Amino acid sequence: MTQRQKNRFLSTIEGYLYLAPTMIVLAIFVFLPVISSFSLSLNRQAPFGNKQRYVGSENYSKLLGEFAECFTAEVCGDYGYSLYVTIIFTLGTVPAGLALAVLLAVALSYPLRAMSPIHRMLIFVPVVISSAVAGVLFRWLYHPVVGYLNYWMTFVGLDGPDWLTTKRWALVAVILVSIWKNLGFNTIIALAGVQNIDNSYYDAAKVDGANVWQRFYNITLPLLSPTLFFLLIINIITSFQTFGEIDILTEGGPGKATTTLVYSIFDHAFKGTPQRGIASSEAYLLALMVIVMSFAQMWVLGRKVHYQ
């Protein structure tokens, strides 16, 4: 071995030694649990104890069968209904959350520019608050007797509903909390995109007689499309993974009204009679859904993004 080869070998060993602590932590807390979870998804585990029986793809077949019941039967299976709730939850949080974020970003860039540091801080506060604290806070706000939300609704002549105990309103209540919780992050990212737009575009549009709406629709939105595309992917992934707010506010109820895919995994793994094989299968199907949706969005919407 020449001196040059020796030095290269020692440099390679040194690099691996620097990486070793990180790789060991990832192996223990990421790679091994992923492998163990996949192995568990191919088995049926006894509710109490560690006894397992290999069932192959039976867990996956059962879940897909429950999903197929939504198309072949009058009533969806539990897994199909959880997917339905997740889709409704996503459709309720993502478009409204992004629309509010863009409007707030434009307001902070122009009408409220003088006070924007204070408003940015107030808008970003919910991001810092943990899901548990946000859930407890909104449990008081949604309280049918002493809650402030119903109290304020009486001033406009409305009767406040039982937000967390009726199927009609429970999912709406969770959607509102999720929008509020993620609004700060979305607004700050959108604000960076709005402030990155060159003012010369707006000056030229004003000379041509474009009004406020025309400038927003024809300049702001197209040039903000890379930021909105990023936020769309992040928010859809986040909505499919929302757990804390649901657990604190409704615990998946009433009935299954707020049982999303993530909460269904938790329900099967840790509540009642544990079915950890089913829960692991649900986790892998959820991961597959997120990956497919992300690539589909990049394939379909990525072409319509204006990067320049």
* Adjacent-strand bridge partners of 54: 43
Dihedral through CA 148, CA 153, CA 157, CA 158, nearest 10?
Answer: -120
Contacts of 48 (CB under 8 A, 6+ apart): 274
190 band by pLDDT with thresholds 50, 70 and 90: very high
Backbone angles phi, psi at 255, to 5 degrees: 65, -120
Q: How far is CA 191 from CA 3, 113, 196, 228, 276, in A?
A: 55, 11, 8, 11, 43
Of 76-85, 143-152, 295-304, least confident by mean pLDDT is 295-304
pTM of the model: 0.89
pLDDT tens string 213-246: 898 888 888 889 889 999 999 999 999 999 999 9
pLDDT tens digit sequence for 241-277: 999 999 999 998 888 899 999 999 999 888 877 888 8
- DSSP conformation class of 45: E
C-beta of residue 190 within 8 angstroms of C-beta of residue 102: yes
Q: pLDDT at position 49, please?
A: 63
Sign of CA dihedral 164, 140, 249, 98: positive
Instruction: Report the amino acid identity of residue 11.
Output: S
pLDDT digits (tens, 9 = 90+) for 30-47: 999 999 999 989 988 777
- Evaluate the CA torsion angle 107, 108, 113, 119 in order and state its sign: positive
